[in-house]
Amino acid sequence: MNQPTIFSKIIDREIPADIVYEDDDVLAFSDVNPQAPVHLLIIPKKPIATVNDITPEDEKVVGHLFTVAAKIAADKGFAADGYRVVMNCNDDGGQTVYHLHLHLLAGKPLGWPPYQERIKRA
Ligand code: AMP
């Protein structure tokens, strides 16, 4: 069973967030620890924990996360310059909040690839 997370509290307005978009199925708000000049999180209101937990019945809302990302990019004027959308899954993916979310990063050229070999020191 999915446990409530801090994102459920944002959906329920129990804690504040800088909300930039909302409809019946999706909410988008600023990331509290931005990794780019624009860093938004787009989440389904349904509490899906990880990419592994997406079911066929969720395909519509998961697709909607992407159309909302593109709408925000167009509305905020960075669609043509470009941006990145990312979903992290579980520990190796760097997921820390177990409520599905699409990161939308923009506002500067973004580095790639994200993986860097850790240098082990004696
Ligand atoms: P991830 O590591 O992919 O699970 O991403 C979780 C993101 O949620 C991180 O980028 C955090 O900075 C962000 N975050 C955590 N708590 C909050 C919050 N209360 N409001 C906005 N963003 C948050």
111 within domain boundaries: no
Token look-up 């004027």 returns 77
Backbone phi and psi for residue 15, each to the nearest 5 degrees, phi listed first: -130, 150
If one counts every other C-beta atom within 10 angstroms of the C-beta of residue 3, the result is 9
Nearest to 97 by CA among 59, 42, 36: 42
Domain, as residue range, for 60:
6-106
Catalytic residue among 39, 64, 99, 101: 101
Mean residue pLDDT of the chain comes to: 94
State in Å: Cα 28 to ligand 1 middle: 12
Name the residue at shortest CA distance from atom 18 of ligand 1. Answer: 32
Q: What is the pTM of this model?
A: 0.94
Output the domain CATH number for residue 14: 3.30.428.10
Catalytic, 103? Answer no
Rounded Cα–Cα distance for residues 80 and 56 (Å): 32
Q: Using the mean position of ligand 1's atoms as its centre, give its distance from the Cα of residue 75 in Å.
A: 23
- pLDDT, residue 4, reads 83
Q: Which two tokens stand for residue 97?
A: 């909040």
Is the per-residue pLDDT at 122 higher than 70?
no
Mutate to test the pocket of ligand 1, among 8, 29, 31, 52 (most ligand atoms within 8 A of CB): 31
pLDDT tens digit sequence for 39-56: 999 999 999 999 999 999
Residue with the larger pLDDT of the pair 112 and 86: 86
Q: Residue 119 domain-assigned?
A: no
Residues 5-19: pLDDT tens digits?
999 999 999 999 999
Ligand 1: centre distance to CA 96 (Å): 7
Per-residue confidence band for 119, with pLDDT thresholds at 50, 70 and 90: low
pLDDT for 120 equals 63
In the sheet that holds 102-106, the strands lie side by side as: 19-22, 26-30, 38-44, 102-106, 83-86
